[in-house]
Structure 1
Amino acid sequence: MTTGKIYGVGLGPGAQDLMSVRANNLIRRVRHIAYFRKKGRKGHARSIVEGMLADSVIELPMEYPVTTEIPVSDPRYNALLSDFYQSCVDHLTELTQAGEDVVVLCEGDPFFYGSFMHLYTRLKDQVPVSVVPGITGMSAAWTATGQPITWGDDVMTVAMGTLPEADLAQRMAETDALVVMKIGRNLAKVRRALDLAGRTDEAWLIEYAAMAEERVTPFREAGDIAPYFSILLIHGNGRRP
């Protein structure tokens, strides 16, 4: 029997018309569609492809055993997720060995801070795996501001809001252009770090980039709550003709 293939398909930032042609074709033709979601939720990746799936599609929701219930530093966190990813891999491998192709839906780009990477490293030496890149959320965010993110020799730093405050402040101070992801519950810390770096007036907060709810706000005017799909930007101002 012919072995099937796993496709990690980047969906882009959230708008169907920002997907690649390859992603669109795969999503519409493959019989098995897998996606991550929080327990009790539909899943953002699944929401993005609403109306695109064939009536005969078989959906494979992969529900995280833990998200924010325990700290990332807790040894149980990695143990639970490791077991979860291996369970997903076992199921996907079984399907491919039966000759089935499976698309794993990935928000943004599969190789950029996504859960698919944890499947990929476990799958790549066992079954055929193909990755379809997607537009990242940060690209949609800086496009939403109407300003280029980098010029000439600008250095751009991508940082996580989960970093310690001092580390965030140092990286903010040392870079030309900046992207901070995973803001959400870390908003107050990110705000303090920006103040420490002296860059608050340069910063923008972009919520739901490329989605219907898109909002672009100077960071100083932002409220005290940021949704999950929020990105902070500082534009570079480097060499230009």
Structure 2
Amino acid sequence: MTGTLYGLGIGPGDPELITLKALRLLRAAPVVAWPAPEQGDSLARSIVASHLPGGQTEIAIRMPLTVERFPAQAIYDGAATELAEHLSAGRDVAVLCEGDPFFYGSFMYLFARLAKRFPVEVVPGVSSLTACAAALGHPIAARNDVLTVIPAPLDDAAIAARLQATDAAAILKLGRHGPRIVALLQKLGLAGRAHYIERATMANQRILPLAEVDPQAIPYFAMILVHKRGEAHVTESNT
């Protein structure tokens, strides 16, 4: 009998935004693995720190988080080999994933390497998208609205085309692309219908009007939600 690999969505930052199922599996797993930067603490582990019972084997999967070097395939190869040793010995392994494992989650790279050899269960989590909408008090989409998720590293032409073709959009992975994205929203006449939030659900969460955001200081963990009507719940009959 081999162990089971669990990909646990643990939410975007608030330790209470974890499902009962993920919490149960987290506490029961003899091995817990989590992504971490090459130096420093892991955000994923810090989210669940208060839930850990102690006595578990902990594995830090340290990797470069810079755009130029991510995903670090050799790192995932090594991590998969290490986790496979535990799984082969019959030990379950819980891998922490901020937000949801299959929504831009790093767990998918381990899944690709291990799913054909071991049982895998993915436990969905509260995604950054839904967490940001809730914190902003900004419904994402209504009725037959088309929602588009746009990674900020795309070029301006691609982003503009997607914004023009959709009813609602979430722009994520901002960081160094912030100045370009803010300028593009202004150019397209959408700045007044954009909602900005950074580090949603964390202790240092900030919500600002886009006009007050310093584009040069936008962190990676930031998101802009845009709706063509301004608010999703506004329809032609109530405007």
Settle same-fold status: TM greater than 0.5: yes
CA deviation profile, 1:67-120 (whole Å, cap 9, x unmatched): 32xx63xxxx47x82221111111111110001001000000000101110110
Helix, strand or coil at the partner of 2:224: strand
Unaligned stretches of 5+ residues in structure 1: none
Which residue does the alignment assign to 1:137?
Answer: 128
- Check the 8 A contact 2:193/2:228 in 1, yes or no: no
Q: Distance in 2 between matches of 1:170 and 1:124?
A: 36
Q: Distance in 1 between matches of 2:181 and 2:219?
A: 14
Q: How does 1:54-203 map to 2 (within 5 A)?
A: 54-64=53-63, 66-68=64-66, 72=68, 77=69, 81-203=72-194
- The Cα of 1:236 is off from its aligned counterpart by 5.3
Name the amino acid aligned to 1:222.
V
Q: Distance in 1 between matches of 2:181 and 2:212?
A: 14
CA deviation profile, 1:100-146 (whole Å, cap 9, x unmatched): 00100000000010111011011110111110000101101111121
Are residues 1:37 and 2:28 paired?
no
CA deviation profile, 1:10-46 (whole Å, cap 9, x unmatched): 0012112111000111111212110011111211101
Helix, strand or coil at the partner of 2:72: helix
User: TM-score normalized by structure 1?
Assistant: 0.91
- Check the 8 A contact 1:160/1:181 in 2, yes or no: yes
Change (3 A) 1:57 1:129: same
User: TM-score normalized by structure 2?
Assistant: 0.91
CA deviation profile, 1:159-189 (whole Å, cap 9, x unmatched): 0111112211222222211101100111011
Which residue does the alignment assign to 2:226?
Answer: 234
Which residue does the alignment assign to 1:216?
Answer: 207
Q: Which moved more, 1:155-164 or 1:171-180?
A: 171-180
Paired-residue identity, %: 37
Which residue does the alignment assign to 2:12?
Answer: 13
Change (3 A) 1:203 1:89: same
Unaligned stretches of 5+ residues in structure 2: none
Q: Distance in 2 between matches of 1:142 and 1:179?
A: 9
Root-mean-square deviation (Å) = 1.7
Change (3 A) 1:155 1:217: same
Which residue does the alignment assign to 2:198?
Answer: 207
Q: Distance in 2 between matches of 1:67 and 1:178?
A: 25
Name the amino acid aligned to 2:174.
I
